[in-house]
Structure 1
Amino acid sequence: MIVISLVTFAPVFVQAHEVNDSTEDSSYNIKINNINEKYYSGNVSRKNKNLLNAAVQQQVKQPNLLYSNNSCSTINQIKQVAKDNYLNRNTSFSIHYTGNFSDLKGILNEVLDYIDESDDYLANSIVSSEVRYHGYNQDVDIDFTVEYLLTYDQENWVNQKVNSILQNIIRDSMTQDQKEKAIHDYIVANTAYDETLVKHSAYDALHDGTTVCQGYALLAYKMLNEAGIPAKIVVGMVDGSSVENHAWNLVNLNGKWYQLDCTWDDPVPDVQGRVRYDYYNLTDNRLAKDHAWDRSKYPVANTSYDLSITNVPVKSVVLDKHQITLKVGETTSLTANVLPANASDNSIIWKFDAQGLISFDGISIKGLKPGKVYINAVSNDGAFKDTCIVTVVNDTEVDFNNSRQWQEKTGIDTNKSWKLKFTKTVASSTANKNNIYVLDELYNKVDVDISFDVTKDTLVVKPAQSYKSGKVYYLVVTTNVTSDSGQKISKPIIMKFTIK
């Protein structure tokens, strides 16, 4: 039986830049024990199953080592099964290998290299991996014990949080350049460098608001890729270090690669909300002035970047509604759009004095009591605005949406009397203020006098006091008005009129 142990420790990075008396160690070690480098060949007619089973039992008794009974016959199958377990953050799993191999060391390195090279985020989220082989040719168990920066639940939380943030800061109308800037600005403005050098993950950045360069790079990588922007994590040296002690990103925009260091755009001491662009989309040569890395491992970044292309000025603010009438208790929506759609700053400032008449959360308006409110949607720079007039009215017996709307009248005198001529004589008992009335713009009843004209088929509606200049009123005739023979009108009649 052959027993082989491979232990790898993934590098953990912190930024030494602008941190006094702070250093950081990183290491990557491979230990191969008990390997006979000679090549053996021959025929075996039987296997010592008891010896193999004893070895398996001994391994099972070790803490945190669980068997998943994954069976693989090729190296590629091992790679995929191992990666799936890594992605699910399984700390212990086993693979049963039934294929032929002669270079155990090569297989171990090939599988772990595949894990590292297939996913930058995963590779930089692994703290350590220990892989053990035991068995015979075509009958070998491979045991993995892995330590990660985060648990599976923490990674799920990060994914959900990233999706939520992107929904708030990314718009479909944005260019790739604008999306990258929005992500960079969010990370720099909402994260502080961890000067205790103990927080290394995207979870730390999002949950606690602080992390070292590894967390900055991991979060930027995840957010950029989720937004559809190809990115990589670069591991290198800064501050004259001879060992890898820093991590940052490479970003691909329109087929060109750029160097992006969110950590060094957020130097210590932290200033809340401060965003800098000193290390934003640099070329390799520009970044190499204070960063070093193995360039053979990464794409070339040799294109100068013009940050101004992300700055698209606001031209206008447009509301989807400019007049809203709500009954008390009713709700409706109000939406503001900044134009052009890809303007760099699409934020809106809502300005209004509710006076207890409405509630408004930037999306939904609810009428609370009768009155009029002017809601202004203003661009963040204050240069553009649009206005909606919200009128809250009392509830009425008449459904305005299920009535006959007579043509609106404008320029009406303040003492206007309306004559209503019916096709039949009107029953005197129904010709009253309950059945025929005038409402003001808040649907409050206005005092009027109701009388017959010369004949009983014509009614006169006259204001008890003058109407107010410039105001809107509604003349209402309900279905309770009947003829002498008991006939009713089919629908309420409403006529809007405006006083000059």
Structure 2
Amino acid sequence: MKKLSCMKKIFFTLLFLLGVTFNICYASTFTVNSEEEFKTKLFDEFRRGEKYIKIYINNFKEMDADYIQNVLNSVVDDEEINWKCYLKELGFSVSENPYAVEINKIDYAVTDEEREFVNKEIDRILSEILKPNMTTLEKEIAIHDWIISNVEYDKTRTRTRPYQALTGSKKAVCIGYSLLTYEMLDKVGIPCRIALGKVSGGEEHAWNMVNIDGNWYHLDTTFDNPHNTNNTKNWNVCRVGYLNATDEQIKKDHIWYNDLPKSAPVSISKLHSMNLKNKEVWVNVGQVIVPKLEFYPQTAINKDVSYAIPDDGIIYMTYDEKTGKDTLYAHKVGTTKIRIISDDGNFMQDMIVHVGAPANSISLNKTNVTLKKGGFVSIIAKVNPSNAYSNELIWESSDSKIARVDKNGKISGVGKGKTTIKVKLKYKPSIYKILNVTVQ
């Protein structure tokens, strides 16, 4: 038996950066016909956690122990092996006629019992959080949300494995978060990588990259975790926005040193917050009510909302087939409150709505004005009836070379001649008044 001493050194150096997949282990024997097939099969068997692997080799050139050692080293140096296998030590022997490699000493940092538990526990969790017909993105978000809601950061920095993230105090360091994220996403067929690097301040850190519908994004469940509240370390602080971040976004506080795919240029994410800018509005009967909502991030996948309306009859709602959205209308005079609810139910905002009588006319203190070139006059306009709340007006000159008017009804004489000024109700332009202007 020949031990791979160089590999042993690699494994112990990377002890806290390696991972496992969680499948039941069986002795494995197979035949390969090329170096690439050898590497692929070996990778798969390490992922399975096999303790004894025998490989029959056809059509290998330069078949000797040194060659096999180099091949094995190249597999171990592959980042996927480092992430998923958590190997500690390997030993192998080579035989001839036919050529065969027996890897008969494989030490892992996890037990068979841990593998089996994690495998079953992930199946159980996924059965609870995933629903039929979910999209790839929806599955990823469900997994992300479960991890950040149920796993706490291990401030002792000793819990590195998914098993530790799922048992006892359910704590783990960043590599534990990343490996658990990897295993859960892999279970549902979502391609995922583990990024190894540093964060602001120089701390070693691990996170994920995930492929959603052909595009790669960064995913850091450690940074997104609301349980992480140790302000002495930047990467323990509760943050949002690390779900499907781009390279440019993640570079603000992450640096990676392993070879990763380039991210998509635009992030896709879940909704983190919703803010209502016009929390109190004044409108008239018949007017459309438009909540001015701000969503963070703007790239959130679902910014739809629903409305909870009292049965006082002041507001009514219709469904607009053209836009696929609900439209709110002021129905009768009074004051009421609308509750706006995000589609996922996580965010709510209340809007106070004052509904006045429907406007029916505009009155002016003057209908004919004469002024000199360079002079000005202010016109007073009133919306009728007096309890019409929405009374914003728009002023327009039919010939600005003769007279101009500002938004407050101040008319300025520009050049000699006659023109008209039109003042109309902003929300209902069909209600207007005409003013005749002569400039001398």
**TM-score normalised by L of structure 2:** 0.50
- Tell me the residue number matched to 2:90: 130
Residues 95 and 109 of structure 1: is their aligned pair in 2 closer, same or farther, counting only changes over 3 Å? same
C-alpha distance in 2 between matches for 1:13 and 1:279: 26
Aligned partner of 1:260 among 192, 212, 219: 219
Q: Which residue of 1 aligns with 2:175?
A: 214
Structure showing the higher strand proportion among its residues: 2
Q: 2:305 and 2:103 mapped to 1: Cα distance? A: 59
Aligned residue number for residue 234 of structure 2: none
SS in 1 for 2:242: coil
- The equivalences for 1:79-478 within 5 A come to 79=39, 82-83=42-43, 85-95=45-55, 100-102=60-62, 104-114=65-75, 117=78, 120=80, 123-134=83-94, 139=99, 141-208=101-168, 209-239=170-200, 241=202, 245-266=204-225, 268-269=228-229, 276-294=239-257, 296-308=259-271, 309-311=300-302, 344-345=344-345
- In structure 2, relative to structure 1, the CA distance for the partners of 1:316 and 1:154 (3 Å cut) is farther
Q: 1:143 corresponds to which letter in structure 2? A: I
Percent identity for Structure 1 against Structure 2: 28
CA–CA separation in structure 2 for the residues paired with 1:70 and 1:296: 30
Give 1:114 deviation, angstroms: 4.3
Q: What are structure 2's unaligned runs of at least 5 residues? A: 19-25, 232-236, 272-299, 309-341, 351-440
CA–CA distance in 2 between the matches of 1:95 and 1:290? 44
| Higher RCO structure, 1 or 2 (CA under 8 Å, sep 6+) | 1
Residue 175 of structure 1 and its aligned partner are, at CA, apart by 3.5
The structure number with the bigger radius of gyration is 1
Whether the 8 Å CA contact 1:169–1:182 is kept in 2: the answer is yes
Alpha carbons 1:108, 1:131 under 8 Å: kept: no
* CA offsets 1:357-401 (integer angstroms, 9 cap, x no match): xxxxxxxxxxxxxxxxxxxxxxx98x9xxxxxxxxxxxxxxxxxx
Query: 1:288 is matched by which residue type in structure 2?
Result: K
Q: Deviations over 1:242-276 (max 9, x none)?
A: xx9321111122322111111122263479xx974
Task: Give RMSD over aligned pairs.
Answer: 4.2
CA contact (8 A) 2:164 2:172 kept: yes
Alpha-carbon separation, structure 2, partners of 1:311 and 1:109? 50
CA distance in 1, matches of 2:104, 2:222: 33
Count of residues in correspondence between the two structures:
271
Instruction: Output the amino acid matched with 2:199.
Output: V
Structure 1 letter corresponding to 2:172: T
Q: How does 1:480-491 map to 2 (within 5 A)?
A: none
Range 89-98 or range 193-202, more displaced: 89-98
The answer on whether the counterparts of 1:125 and 1:201 sit within 8 Å (CA) in structure 2 is no
Contact preservation (8 Å) 1:129, 1:147:
yes
Q: Are 1:116 and 1:123, in contact at CA under 8 Å, matched by a contact in 2? A: no
TM-score, structure 1 as length reference:
0.45
CA distance in 2, matches of 1:194, 1:97: 45
Q: What is the DSSP-based 3-state SS (H/G/I as helix, E as strand, rest coil) of the residue aligned with 2:186?
A: helix
Displacement of 1:173 in angstroms is 4.3
Where 2:145 maps in the other structure, the secondary structure is: helix
Offset of 1:192 from its aligned partner?
A: 1.0
